[in-house]
Copies of this chain bind each other. A is one copy, B any other.
Amino acid sequence: MKAVSLYEANDFDEKTMKRLLVHDSPYMKILNFNFKAGQTLPVHNHDIEGEVCLTILEGEGEFVGAEDASRPAKAGDVIITDISEPHGLNAFTDLRLLVTIAPPI
């Protein structure tokens, strides 16, 4: 069993999104990205099989997809997308994001 308190293990960086690798196994990869208001995860994709789940733990922003289509996002929102589909995020407030990838990249 592995336990991580994200609010203690990861903080914010004024310059850029702050990244924490929470877990990496043959089954899944888990990351925590913290954004100050205005910071961004640029839209990207990987041409491989699998899914990514984005969960907003705290804050407000918007998910961005293909052709810059966007969708408001707030604490408690979950987005599941193929790893091969474009996905990104813009933070409007300080925002904590949990990213789960399976199978792991």
A residues neighboring B (CB under 8 Å): 1-7, 22-23, 25, 27-28, 30, 50-51, 53, 55, 57-58, 63, 65, 71, 73-81, 85, 87, 96, 98, 100, 102-103
Contacts and interface: CB of A to CB of B under 8 A. Distances in A.
Contacts of A81: 1-2
A75 B22 contact: no
A86 to B, nearest CB: 10
A76 B57 contact: yes
Contacts of A22: 78, 80
A76 B53 contact: no
B51 A76 contact: no
Contacts of A7: 75-76
